[in-house]
Structure formats: C-alpha cells, structure tokens
Amino acid sequence: MLRVLGGPSEMQVQEATFFAFDDVCIPFRTNFQLHLIHGKRTPGWRDGPTVVVPRGPPGSHDEGVHYYGSTIRVGDEFHMWYIGRVGRNPNWANYEGFDGRLCYANSRDGINWTKPELGLVEYQGSKANNIVDFPRHIDMFMAPVIHDPQD
C-alpha cells in the first residue's frame, strides 16, 4: 500500500512502480533528494576503475567503447547487452558510416563476465563472436532490453 502522507485518502494505491533513475515520475518531490551511491569495491580487487566487460582485442567488433547497455538478472544468471564499437570501419558500417553493434555477455556473479560465441553474425569472416543479430543498416547507440517472463 502506498500512501501519500498528508494527502487525501483517495491518494492510496495498492501497488506502484517507480523508476528510481527518473525522479520526474516520483510524485510530491518537495524536500526529496535522489542521487546515486557509489558501490563498494569487492575485497581483493585492484585499485582504480573497475572494468566489468573489457574491450575486445584490436580489430574486434568491440575493441572500442562499450556503453549504454542493459543488465538483467534472470534466475541465477546476469545477462548484459551492450554496444561495441570499432570506429569508422567501412567494411562493417551502416549507411551513415558508423559501426555500433549490439553485443551480449553473461555472468553468474555480476563481476566475472563471459562473451559467449553466439554464432549469429559474421564479422571479418567468422561467426565466432558475441554479436546479436540485428539489422546492419541501423547504428546502435544504446541497448535497452526489457525482460518479460511471459514472452
């Protein structure tokens, strides 16, 4: 039950979903602060920035930056979709000359990630990669993924 303190009784609802990353959807934001809290480093990890999914080797489909992905936990496994880039690769570019590709990784603990060979998309003569099959003419800038257990 959600109740707005000081509000009328008709403000009560049985269930509500709020997206904490979007404070616009939160009603009655007066005297309310929303901010991210830095995570705690896992014992034994080295100092410096933690790289969850490292870049691929030079010449690979994800040797460039990885960004704007989605991570979803299903059962006891984490699934991540992210954008891998090489730069301006004329052999792999879309009609605008960019080459962002949707890639996939998975993990049991959310710390150690694997880039499985999906065998879906040929890149530089091989399907031994983690590229998700998506229309090539579309330049991917982000990878929003929604998991629906009923789907």
pLDDT mean over 43-53: 63
**What residues are paired with 67 via a beta bridge?**
83
For residue 49, what are the contacts with CB-CB under 8 A and spacing of at least 6? none
Give the DSSP letter of residue 133: -
Between 59 and 6, residue with greater pLDDT:
59
pLDDT mean over 73-99: 73
Rounded to the nearest angstrom, the gap between the alpha carbon of residue 92 and the centroid of all alpha carbons in its chain is 22
Q: What is the pTM of this model?
A: 0.64
Whether the predicted pLDDT of 3 surpasses 60:
no
* Most confidently predicted of 50-64, 115-129, 132-146: 115-129
CB 142 within 8 A of CB 68: yes
- The angle subtended at Cα 137 by Cα 132 and Cα 142, nearest 5°, is 55
CA proximity to 78, closest of 102, 56, 52:
52
pLDDT tens digits, residue range 13-44? 666 665 555 666 666 777 777 666 666 665 55
pLDDT mean over 62-79: 85
Between 91 and 128, residue with greater pLDDT:
128
DSSP, collapsed to helix, strand or coil, labels residue 9 as helix
Between 137 and 97, residue with greater pLDDT:
137
If you search the block for the tokens 């959600």, which residue do you land on? 2
Residue 79, H or E segment = strand 77-84
pLDDT of the residue at 100: 75
**CB environment 113-125: b (16+ within 10 A), e (fewer):** bebeeeeebebee
